[in-house]
Chains A and B, each alone.
Chain A
Amino acid sequence: KAGVTQTPRYLIKTRGQQVTLSCSPISGHRSVSWYQQTPGQGLQFLFEYFSETQRNKGNFPGRFSGRQFSNSRSEMNVSTLELGDSALYLCASSAREREQFFGPGTRLTVL
């Protein structure tokens, strides 16, 4: 069974731009979560989707948004990028298992 995939793997943007990251969960997984990882703040929860509904949201500004499609694929969008948005963005999916399975991440650099 294929793992969680994330595209793109690397991204360079400039301040003020917007970006969309994509995540395809493991086949059959309906829950998708997003995390931001930075050296200073560590791993922080962004949001969680289940069956196209946002079930949970972390403490991030409204510039961060996401959605989930009927095939469980998920996208997250960051508008008006700031330097501090530079991070590794991790997507994870889960099903009946208690654990979340992670993708390889998207490395976003904001210049």
Chain B
Amino acid sequence: AQTVTQSQPEMSVQEAETVTLSCTYDTSESDYYLFWYKQPPSRQMILVIRQEAYKQQNATENRFSVNFQKAAKSFSLKISDSQLGDAAMYFCAYRSANYAGGTSYGKLTFGQGTILTVHP
């Protein structure tokens, strides 16, 4: 079974600065996907960024980027130029690469989450 660990229960950052959230995972699979989801106080789970394990290049989405270290099973999220709207709970998640009938399937395994506070 896969496990995901986020060792930082809480993090804080000043507005406009950079913060990095850590995530490690354990798996025996070679093909999988990793995600960072954001859950603001509204509780709506929002996808932030996705990384395919077979890709060596780190994913980037605007101010969000990841440092994917497959051998070390590490997947950190860097938020640059932090904004007040970035304040939320951030979850790292793992999903096996399964497909059938043109559809991906398989559960997401989540870490415990990191609460990010952004100070003005």
Contact A99 B47 (CB under 8 A): yes
Contact among B44, B95, B107, B112 for A98, CB-based, below 8 A: B95
Contact A94 B103 (CB under 8 A): yes
For the complex, what is the distance from the CA of A95 to the CA of B104, rounded to whole Å? 6
Most chain A C-beta atoms within 10 Å of own C-beta, residue among B33, B46, B47, B103: B103
Interface membership of A26, Cβ < 8 A:
no
Chain B residues contacting A88 (CB-CB under 8 Å) are 43
Instruction: Count chain B residues whose beta carbon lies closer than 8 angstroms to a beta carbon of A.
Output: 28
> Least Cβ distance of B98 to chain A in Å?
9
For the complex, what is the distance from the CA of A72 to the CA of B35, rounded to whole Å? 24
Interface membership of A66, Cβ < 8 A:
no
Most chain B C-beta atoms within 10 Å of own C-beta, residue among A35, A43, A95, A107: A43
Chain A residues contacting B52 (CB-CB under 8 Å) are 98
Contact A48 B107 (CB under 8 A): yes
Nearest CB to that of A105 among chain B residues? B43
Interface membership of B78, Cβ < 8 A:
no
> Least Cβ distance of B88 to chain A in Å?
13
Chain B residues contacting A101 (CB-CB under 8 Å) are 47
Chain B residues contacting A15 (CB-CB under 8 Å) are none
Contact among B44, B102, B105, B107 for A102, CB-based, below 8 A: B44
Nearest CB to that of A28 among chain B residues? B103
Contact A98 B97 (CB under 8 A): yes
**B→A interface (CB under 8 Å):** 33, 35, 37, 42-47, 50, 52, 91, 95, 97, 100-113
